Amino acid sequence: MSTLMADLPTEVATAIYAPCDRIARQQRRQGDKRTLKQLRANVLTDLALREDGTTRAPRTEVFLYLAASSLLELDKQPGYLAGHGHIPTALAPELTSRPDNV
């Protein structure tokens, strides 16, 4: 997981937060069991990745450093994801196999 933060004018931050909160609360009323915080994060992600009126999968450039022995499943040395830190070896195939990751 990662944290995304921005220093914005109050009116801009409020204009972004309000629809995220409104949609998240609507999803809760419709029976979604996730927390409002989780729902707001998902709504923000959907809105930020929207392109031409549809939500698209994010295209990500990943710099993952992994020992060849771990890649060949000879051991389980942790990988290193640039800009993030160490990750479990089991997460490496998932990150590198997504079609939109480079």
List the one residue out of 62, 69, 65 whose CA is nearest residue 96.
62
Which element (helix H / strand E) includes 64?
A: strand 64-65
Q: What is the pLDDT of residues 86-102, one digit of tens each?
A: 988 888 777 777 666 65
List the one residue out of 64, 66, 59 whose CA is nearest residue 101.
59
pTM of structure = 0.57
Q: What is the pLDDT of residues 21-74, one digit of tens each?
A: 999 999 999 999 999 999 999 999 888 887 766 666 656 677 888 888 887 888
Cα–Cα dist 102/99, whole Å: 8
**Domain ranges, ordered by start, for the chain:** 10-55, 64-97
Residue type, 76: K
